[in-house]
Amino acid sequence: MPIADRLTARKAIIERVRGLGRKVVAVLPFHYPRALLRAYRLHPIEVWGPPNVPRDKGSQHFQAYTCDIVLKATSFLLRGGMDPVDAILVPHTCDALQGMASVTADFLKPRQPVLTLYLPRGCRDSDRAFLIAELRRLAGCCAEISGHKPNEADWAEAFAAEEAADRALASLYQRRPRLALSDRDFYTAVRSREFLTAEDFGELAASLPEGDPPADGVGLMLSGIVAEPLELFDRINEMGAHVVADDLACGYRRVYPPAAESDPFARIAAQLLACPPDPTRGSPIEQRVAALRSRMRESGAQGLLIYDVKFCEPELFDIPLLRKHLAAAGLPVLHVEFEMGMTVSRQVLTRIEAFVETLQ
Amino acid sequence: MSKPEVVAIGTDAGSTTCKLVAVGQGGEVLGSRLEATQPHIELQVGELLGQLRSELGVDGPVPCVATGYGRKLVKDATRSVTEITCHARGVFRDLGHGGTLVDIGGQDSKVIRLGNNGKPVDFMMNDKCAAGTGRFLEYTSARLGVPIDELGRRALSTDREEPITSTCTVFAESEIISLLARGVALEAILRGLHRALVGRIVAMVHNVGLTPPLMLSGGVAHNEAVRALIEEATGERVLLPREPQLMGAYGAALLGTEGKSAA
């Protein structure tokens, strides 16, 4: 049975977590403190577009060169898609998302409060201190929404649950070569973390069968924010290739390592700052290149496919240097941009197919 | 003397023209077809294939490799391969060396860096916008009333050049109308138009990295102004294969011979 058929629908999850006494927060991509939300009795449901929503209503509020994630999420909000949630959290992943937070709060004025989380662009002590202060500020907003202030036991329970789910995600990636899952099923499972509870995600991850992976051929590593639509994976498989690793914001970039700090805010900050390097956090190019090289080598990836949502500035800034350094290391790179929709364009597929042919 | 045996057929179902090439055991071209693409490309290819097989006396099955934007629609194809690989293979076979290949087609343009073994090492495609493709020239030739095969010669017939600043084909048309209304000579406009197209191509060449020699394939390779202005902009002589427009289909046919002696 395809993994998608095993997943509980978001509406049913919202009802269930409400039954557990939690309120629901729509969260835009992509770094945010899950344990904090849980300790404050909030449940995140992430919004990455969605791809099937028209851009029209979002386009009325942003420049033509704004990415589809922001345009479609705004359309989704204005079409009532976020009506069931109690708050909207927009992390400062990029200027476009920061702009969305401002436009939404100041002009669109939904009934739900719009929360922000300003993420630092570095890992210095000052960045850590800034992030801790931001998390404390966000916690104050969360307390107002849920009416709950966590005690020590709440924090302990939240860390135990969310860190177990983080470990389950890390384990999924470690077990990837042994999982009898298509690329589409693997990424459906990974991305179910965007809306499932930590417990449900852990259970799903543990239940995935091991055996011979169905896909074979040229191994690709995928980089970017999000690989949409999931049909992309089927098309890649048809070309005689498969995805052996990723550097996706909706995937491996959120494999957060555990931290040991006793203060909950310091602990969350340490986790958020220790995840794999990515351009939205201002990671130095040397760190990104080293991480990509190492993961490509370990996974046996023969080429890097950078699959970017059109107009995604943080990703685009790094492309020339990534191409240069990886080419110097003998690692082929293809960069394609896509517009988020329900199908992958023929032009994009032709480029990927040609890239696969050069690697065969 | 018996007819040489057809070993494979390549089909390039492009956006503007549909091309077929049949090759023999040694990779030599035994026959070809080229005509404007029709709306029902699958029927058109089937018909052209029938004609070619009949002309060359092909009775039994032979590998048929399809390329071009309509490659997935070719029902008789035993395999489909992208234009990038096919053009690379065809040009490498015809010219015998690696380098940088520019293929300007009707709907897209590509710059392909070829290794010394003829395999594409890197490539870049412009397929989002008509500017920088054959469509740009087709569109403006229709607007100016100049036959497409005269565009290059007319553009080179003057030293005067009127810069075209619009990067979009549709806006360029408006600009042309304004220039004509101001009484600017047609040849100077044509030269400016070619310069604009070549500017886009050369930017792609530099993005991929220019490894000499520079080679040109696709229908636009017949345009002498495009060749001359690319040479001027890059400082490299442009080499042409014998049949630039057939290189995709030829490369596809060569790929069809894989496992036999021709490829």
**Could you tell me what percent of chain A has a pLDDT over 90?**
94
Q: How much is the ipTM here?
A: 0.82
Confidence category of residue B131, pLDDT binned at 50, 70, 90 = low
Residue B81 lies in a domain: yes
* pLDDT for the residue numbered B176: 82
Average of per-residue pLDDT across A40-51: 96
Within a 10 A sphere around the Cβ of B133, how many other Cβ atoms? 27
* Chain B: residue whose CA lies nearest to A349: B82
Average of per-residue pLDDT across A175-181: 93
Ramachandran area for residue B183 (φ above 0: left; ψ -120 to 50: alpha; else beta) = left
* pLDDT for the residue numbered B263: 36
Dist. CA A331–CA A128, nearest whole Å:
34
Dist. CA B95–CA B72, nearest whole Å:
28
Residue B142 lies in a domain: no
Q: HSE-up of B49 (CA within 13 Å, CB side)?
A: 26
Residue B18 lies in a domain: yes
Sign for the pseudo-dihedral over CA of B190, B192, B195, B199: negative
pLDDT in tens, B26-36: 999 999 999 99
Dist. CA B64–CA B77, nearest whole Å:
5
Residue B27 lies in a domain: yes
Residue B145 lies in a domain: no
- Closest by Cα among A261, A267, A183 to A217: A183
- Closest by Cα among A239, A246, A221, A197 to A331: A221
The minimal CB distance from B85 to the residues A332, A351, A354 is found for A354
> For tokens 């202005």, what's the residue?
B229
Print the domain residue range for B65.
Answer: 6-89+246-256
* pLDDT for the residue numbered A54: 94
pLDDT in tens, A74-102: 999 999 999 999 999 999 999 999 999 99
Query: Could you tell me the CA-to-CA distances from A29 to A148, A185, B30, B62, B171 in Å, in that order?
Result: 25, 21, 58, 52, 37
Residue B69 lies in a domain: yes
Test A354 with B84 for CB contact under 8 angstroms. yes
E strands present in A196-250: 218-224, 241-248
Average of per-residue pLDDT across B216-241: 95
pLDDT at A311 over 80: yes
pLDDT at B261 over 60: no
* pLDDT for the residue numbered B63: 95
* pLDDT for the residue numbered B180: 83
Confidence category of residue B252, pLDDT binned at 50, 70, 90 = very high
- Closest by Cα among A187, A278, A282 to A224: A278
Test A350 with B128 for CB contact under 8 angstroms. no
Q: Is A210 exposed, middle or buried (0-12, 13-18, 19+ CB in 10 A)?
A: exposed
* pLDDT for the residue numbered B179: 86
The minimal CB distance from A346 to the residues B69, B84, B122 is found for B69
Domains within chain A, CATH numbers bracketed: 3-146 (3.40.50.11890)
* pLDDT for the residue numbered B1: 57
For residues A60 and A81, is the Cβ–Cβ distance under 8 A?
A: no
For residues A121 and A127, is the Cβ–Cβ distance under 8 A?
A: yes
pLDDT at B260 over 70: no
Test A357 with B82 for CB contact under 8 angstroms. yes
* pLDDT for the residue numbered A213: 76
Within a 10 A sphere around the Cβ of B135, how many other Cβ atoms? 19
- Closest by Cα among A233, A194, A237, A188 to A1: A188
pLDDT in tens, B99-115: 999 999 877 889 999 99
pLDDT at B262 over 70: no
Confidence category of residue B141, pLDDT binned at 50, 70, 90 = confident
Average of per-residue pLDDT across A67-72: 96
Which residues on chain B are in Cβ contact (under 8 Å) with A350? 69, 82-83, 125, 127
Average of per-residue pLDDT across B223-239: 96
* pLDDT for the residue numbered A164: 97
For residues B3 and B21, is the Cβ–Cβ distance under 8 A?
A: no
CATH of residue B25: 3.30.420.40
A259 Cβ neighbours under 8 A, 6+ residues apart: A267, A268, A270, A271, A274
The minimal CB distance from A358 to the residues B119, B125, B128 is found for B119
> For tokens 């503007």, what's the residue?
B16
Q: Give me chain A's average pLDDT, please.
A: 95
CA B239 from centre of chain: 14
Please report which helix (H) or strand (E) contains residue A45, including its range: strand A42-46
- Closest by Cα among A299, A290, A257 to A170: A257
pLDDT at B127 over 70: no
Q: Give me chain B's average pLDDT, please.
A: 89
- Closest by Cα among A19, A265, A250 to A142: A265
Residue B15 lies in a domain: yes
* pLDDT for the residue numbered B258: 85
* Chain A: residue whose CA lies nearest to B110: A351
pLDDT at B130 over 90: no
Test B85 with A332 for CB contact under 8 angstroms. no
Q: Residue B190 has what DSSP assignment?
A: H
pLDDT at B76 over 80: yes
- Tell me which of B183 and A184 has the higher pLDDT: A184
Residue B251 lies in a domain: yes
Test A358 with B81 for CB contact under 8 angstroms. no
> Virtual CA dihedral for A275, A281, A286, A287, nearest 10 degrees?
-10
* pLDDT for the residue numbered B259: 59
Q: Which residues of B touch A (CB under 8 A)?
A: 69, 81-85, 108, 119-123, 125, 127-128
Average of per-residue pLDDT across A34-59: 96
Q: DSSP of B210-238, one letter per residue?
A: --SSEEEESGGGG-HHHHHHHHHHHSSPE
Dist. CA A220–CA A300, nearest whole Å:
8
- Tell me which of B76 and A120 has the higher pLDDT: A120
pLDDT at B169 over 80: no
Q: HSE-up of A186 (CA within 13 Å, CB side)?
A: 29
Domain count within chain B = 1
Which residues on chain B are in Cβ contact (under 8 Å) with A351? 125
* Chain A: residue whose CA lies nearest to B126: A347
* pLDDT for the residue numbered B88: 96
- What SS3 string covers B38-101? CCCHHHHHHHHHHHHHHHHCCCCCCCEEEECCCHHHCCCCCEECCHHHHHHHHHHHHHCCCEEE
